[in-house]
Amino acid sequence: MTWQPFYVGDGRPRDVDLGAPPPWRSFPRSPLDRQFQPPAGLVTAVNAALTLRRPLLVTGTAGSGKSTVIEQVAAELKLGDVLRWHITSRSTLADALYRYDALGRIHAQRLEGAGGGDDIAPFLRLGPLGTALLPARHPRALLIDEIDKSDLDLPSDLLDVLERGEFEVPELARYQEEVVRVREWGGDARHPVAKGRVECDSFPFIVMTSNGERDFPAAFLRRCVRYTMPMPTAESLRQVVEAHLEIGPDRSGPVDALINGFVERLAANESLAVDQLLNAVYVLTGAGAPDGADEREVVELILRELSRV
């Protein structure tokens, strides 16, 4: 059952079985690579990026599957777990390369006395980009998500690192030990870094996503393979819904109506995300789904335009 009055609003405590969540909201999160349907031209763009060892910049509306591209590529090509760098306005290149806890090291030295706590390794960890640039037999997969949310200078700051495939950790370059084993991002595995330099020998497969909310410098764009997600059609949306949910024949008509209405709103330049459609279909096709006035209220609630407060 996907819809029932769990919460009544009468203030009386009760035992409630919330049932199973939607497949895309079960935790720990499961990869969605098997459900992803690449639109026309995306496979070519991915192969061009892989061949040229260039980042792939994917632009599209929210919920169009931009960040799922890399999950499918990493799974098909056995590139391992996807490294993720989620961009905010405060994101910096330095944090993506490595993180050094200088205060923690000073505190440890004070606790252990003169000459103690001098090992720098426990206070260093590579960031997602730094980990992706480690030497490896096969390229790592790195998602740089929503790069258009970054500070204006970040795309330009990335140019040298992405062009050269290497960077320096100054704290290690001047450290007394020539080789230090540094922890990678997202795990406790340690990798030797010699003379403070990290140099890739297999350029990572990098996917950068953008919602199209800003322009990027030409110098940045020419170093990327670019792809724009097409506007969803009724047929492509039907494939997405069928990849995630089993729709019984008795509900195919209402689902088609929901999809067609969604496409019409997109054509009218309303701001909507595909996952909103999935949410609406999930609620309206399960056992105990709302009907009549309740159905209209739920659809309006879930499919509310994103630009509206």
**Matching residue, tokens 């944090």:** 95
- Supply the pLDDT for residue 268: 94
pTM of the predicted model, to two decimals? 0.88
pLDDT tens string for the chain (309 positions)? 455 678 888 999 999 888 888 888 888 887 777 888 899 999 999 999 999 999 999 999 877 889 999 999 999 999 999 999 999 999 999 999 999 999 998 888 888 765 555 799 999 999 999 999 999 988 999 999 999 999 999 999 999 999 999 999 999 999 999 999 999 999 999 999 999 999 999 999 999 999 998 999 999 999 999 999 999 999 999 988 988 888 877 778 889 999 999 999 999 989 899 999 999 999 888 777 788 888 889 999 999 998 776
Query: Which amino acid is located at 183 in the chain?
Result: R
| pLDDT of amino acid 113 | 65
Residue 226, C-beta contacts closer than 8 angstroms, at least 6 positions apart: 45, 56, 57, 59
Q: What pLDDT score does 156 carry?
A: 95
| pLDDT recorded at residue 1 | 44
pLDDT at res. 247 = 84
Contact 33, 72 (CB under 8 A): yes
Specify the pLDDT at position 137.
Answer: 86
Determine phi and psi for 113, rounding to 5 degrees: 85, 180
DSSP string, the chain: -----S--SS---------PPPGGG-SSPPP-TTT--PPTTHHHHHHHHHHHT--EEEE--TTSSGGGHHHHHHHHTT--SPEEEE--TT--HHHHHEEE-HHHHHHHHHHH-TT-S---GGGEEE-HHHHHTS--SS--EEEEETGGGS-TTHHHHHHHHHHHSEEE-HHHHTSSSSEEEEEPTTS--EEEEETTEEE-SS--EEEEEE-S-S---HHHHTTSEEEEPPPP-HHHHHHHHHHH----GGGHHHHHHHHHHHHHHHHTT----HHHHHHHHHHHHSTT---HHHHHHHHHHHT--TT--
